[in-house]
Amino acid sequence: MTEGEIVEAVGEYLGDESSDILLADGFEEAFLGIGQQFNTRFAIYDRDKCIEILCREMDEEQAEEYFHFNVENAWIGENTPVYLTKL
């Protein structure tokens, strides 16, 4: 999905509440859907797919390190996206 398609799908699903959802730029291919905990909704991404996307521009070790410090552990507010690790 493109970012525009994700925004549209989230808008259709959540209506007016969709403006609270924060999306991760550049990781559209890794988007899985929307999660909810209590009254907070957030975007969910496939962590491994995010690393794969980063590996297009850097080696795997650099991608892991970059993702860990700059994406996965970045707090951008209550609706910060979640990165799912599939077991």
pLDDT per residue over 8-41, tens digit each? 777 777 776 656 788 999 999 999 999 998 888 8
Please state the pTM of the whole predicted model: 0.86
pLDDT of residue 81: 95
The gap from C-alpha 48 to its chain's centroid, in whole angstroms, comes to 12
Locus of tokens 């559209």: 28
By three-state DSSP, how is residue 9 classified? Answer: helix
Can you give the pLDDT at residue 78? 86
Digit-coded pLDDT (tens) for 27-83 = 999 999 999 988 888 999 999 999 999 999 999 999 999 999 999 999 988 889 999
Return the pLDDT at 19.
67
Q: Is 25 exposed, middle or buried (0-12, 13-18, 19+ CB in 10 A)?
A: exposed
Question: Which residue in the block uniquely carries the two structure tokens 């730029």?
Answer: 25
What pLDDT is stored for residue 82 in this prediction? 96
32 near 44, Cβ under 8 Å? yes
- CA 40, CA 69: separation in Å to the nearest integer? 24
